[in-house]
Amino acid sequence: MTVKSKILIVEDEDAISNFMEMTLKANNYSVICAKKGKEALSMIPSHCPDLIILDLGLPDIDGITILKELRTWSSTPVIVVSARSDEADKVEALDIGADDYIVKPFGTSELLARIRTAIRHNTSNHSGPSEHLFSVKHLKIDFQKRLVIIEGNEVHLTQIEYKIVSLLAKSAGRVLTYDAIITELWGPYAVKDNQILRVNMANIRRKLEKNPAAPEYIFTEVGIGYRMAEE
């Protein structure tokens, strides 16, 4: 089963937010919404969106401030959607770390094209220009299609489970510490409690391993973290 890309819409105007939400859901994206900056910052670590659509004129925190904060700990693609059309505003947002900038009003086709491009570029940046596939023994991962396959059969993983497997696969052979995985997935302010990670890993092993007690793919380095088998 293909894992849907999850998009966080940060927009306080109901009409625009509803329009984007309906458009994205109709095009098979998973969508969550926030109307204020503080709400968005609290949602990002827990929901791990694949892309953020960010309005600059929010009622509590300016979008530029949110973008600056986000870029101190996350590389999640951000598309700014704003009524501010001045070149200086665009340059500032892009220099700070926005991946794209769309001026309101905008059309459906433009929005979807920008989203596809941002997600594709993010996938390429993380997996290398030609490294969209990972394979070891009977496990195959297609990072572009977000598919995990064991012995020719697609495996259904939750969003978080897929992100854990993908993260480990992209660093195959290296040990990733518990804290590094938690920070990457849930943000630097997440409680460094390994329990939620262990629960997800137990679920992953039940889905990937023939014998979860004697894993072939993801190994535990006791007291340190996890390591994916190398290709």
pLDDT in tens, 68-117: 999 888 889 999 999 988 878 888 888 888 888 998 989 999 999 999 88
- Token output for 132: 């969209």
Is the predicted pLDDT of residue 59 greater than 50, yes or no? yes
Is the predicted pLDDT of residue 195 greater than 90, yes or no? no
Pair 74, 56: CB distance under 8 Å? no
What's the whole-number average pLDDT of the chain?
89
Pair 74, 187: CB distance under 8 Å? yes
| Alpha carbon distance 197, 112 (integer Å) | 33
| Alpha carbon distance 180, 154 (integer Å) | 28
pLDDT of residue 157: 93
Is the predicted pLDDT of residue 136 greater than 50, yes or no? yes
- Token output for 78: 């951000």
| Alpha carbon distance 42, 103 (integer Å) | 26
What pTM was estimated for this model as a whole? 0.68
Residues 6 or more apart whose CB falls under 8 angstroms from that of 127 comprise: 143, 170
The pLDDT tens digits of the residues spanning 154-181 come to 999 998 999 999 999 988 888 888 888 9
pLDDT of residue 180: 85
The pLDDT tens digits of the residues spanning 25-53 come to 999 999 999 999 999 999 998 888 999 99
Residues above pLDDT 90, as percent of the chain: 57
